Structures are given as structure tokens and as C-alpha cells.
Amino acid sequence: MFQVRIHGRGGQGVVTAAELLSVAAFQDELFAQAFPSFGSERTGAPVVAFCRISKLQIRSREPVMEPDALIIQDSTLLQSVDVFAGAAPDAFILINSTKSFNELGLEEFFENRQSERSLIVPASEIALRHVGRPLPNAALLGAFAAITELVTLDSVLNAIEERFPAKIAEANADAAREAHEFVLAGRKVAEHASTN
């Protein structure tokens, strides 16, 4: 069973992200379960959502305590919330930002982690370009598909199409594609570097 925890702020589509991910998993014939950290949080407040993906039926209802993947939609949370709590050393980590790990003051944390599993994606910028609003969730899911290969990009795109009206869906899909591209491109660079 693969457990994902998504951090963000109210209004950034955190819960939607978890739901889209679960739907994408359904697409790939997997069992999935998405649920928010239940609360009455209002716009701007820190929000957490969870998603479990598995080949077997999912029964547990507890919140995700030890995530296999973390999606951080808003880097400003790094100061206020212990977003990395319970994350295994080999956990996937996606951060939405234009800054570098250093600029975010995270170099120590990431020193002894597998670099290909930790990635910063300028999802808001990408979203802004396609959707016109800084809603990073679709882009981050595209990146998630690329980095984890747990769900396919197509499934993510289908989930997006199912969820939104055509126009918005298209825009978000584009954002997801670009972020997906962005990850693959980055990986090529890294591979290239390692071969030298």
C-alpha cells in the first residue's frame, strides 16, 4: 500500500488533489481512498489531505502517519507545520516552489536522501501560465505521476477531465503535462550528469 500526504492551504485545491489522485488510481485498476484532514478550515489555513493507493482493498481509516509520498503545495508551510513528520527516508517529496532547497533552507534535510525522489516544481508558475490562477494541484499531480510512476499521466489527465468542465479541464491538463515534462527533463539532466 502506497500512502500519500498532501499539504497546502485552504483554497489551493489540496483535497481535490487527493481526490484526483485516487480517481487516477481507479483508472489504473487500483484500489484507492482519499480523504481530508477533517475540519472546518477556511481559505488560507493549513490543510492536509490523504490518499492511499493499493492493489488490495483498503480498510484502514486512520490518517496517513507514515507517508510514502509528500506533496507540499505551499512552501511557506515549511516554517509553520512539520510537513515531513513520519516520512520514511526513501519517501517521495514534491515541493511547489521556484526556490532551491538551499533557498528554502532544506539542504541538510535533503543531504542524505535520494535526490531523484526529492523535487521542487514551479507548479504555481506553470498553473498561472495555463489556468490563469496559481492553483498548483493539477501540475503537481502531473509531476507526481512522473516521479513515482505509481499512476500514469493519462489517468491523471482523465481524472482531471472527469472532474472539471471542458475548458478548465483542458487548461489543468496542459499544466499537468508541462509539469510531467519538467520532471522527466530534469531526470534526463541528472542521468546525463551521473554518466559523466
Cβ 37 to other proteins shortest distance, Å: 9
Instruction: Tell me whether residue 16 or residue 75 sits nearer to other proteins (CB atom).
Output: 16
Report the alpha-carbon distance of residue 26 to residue 77 in Å, rounded.
Answer: 30
Cβ 120 to other proteins shortest distance, Å: 28
Question: Which three cell numbers mark 136?
Answer: 498548483
Instruction: Tell me whether residue 25 or residue 104 sits nearer to other proteins (CB atom).
Output: 25
Instruction: Tell me whether residue 31 or residue 110 sits nearer to other proteins (CB atom).
Output: 31
Instruction: Tell me whether residue 35 or residue 84 sits nearer to other proteins (CB atom).
Output: 35
| Amino acid sitting at position 171 | A
Cβ 18 to other proteins shortest distance, Å: 7
Query: In this structure, are residues 107 and 42 in contact, taking their beta carbons and an 8 Å threshold?
Result: no
Instruction: Tell me whether residue 104 or residue 156 sits nearer to other proteins (CB atom).
Output: 156
Give kind and range of the element (H or E) at residue 32.
strand 31-36
Cβ 172 to other proteins shortest distance, Å: 18
Instruction: Tell me whether residue 56 or residue 193 sits nearer to other proteins (CB atom).
Output: 56
Cβ 137 to other proteins shortest distance, Å: 14
SS3 5: strand
Cβ 35 to other proteins shortest distance, Å: 4
Report the alpha-carbon distance of residue 19 to residue 22 in Å, rounded.
Answer: 5
Interacting residues with other proteins (CB under 8 A) = 18-19, 22-23, 26, 31-36, 38-40, 58-63, 65
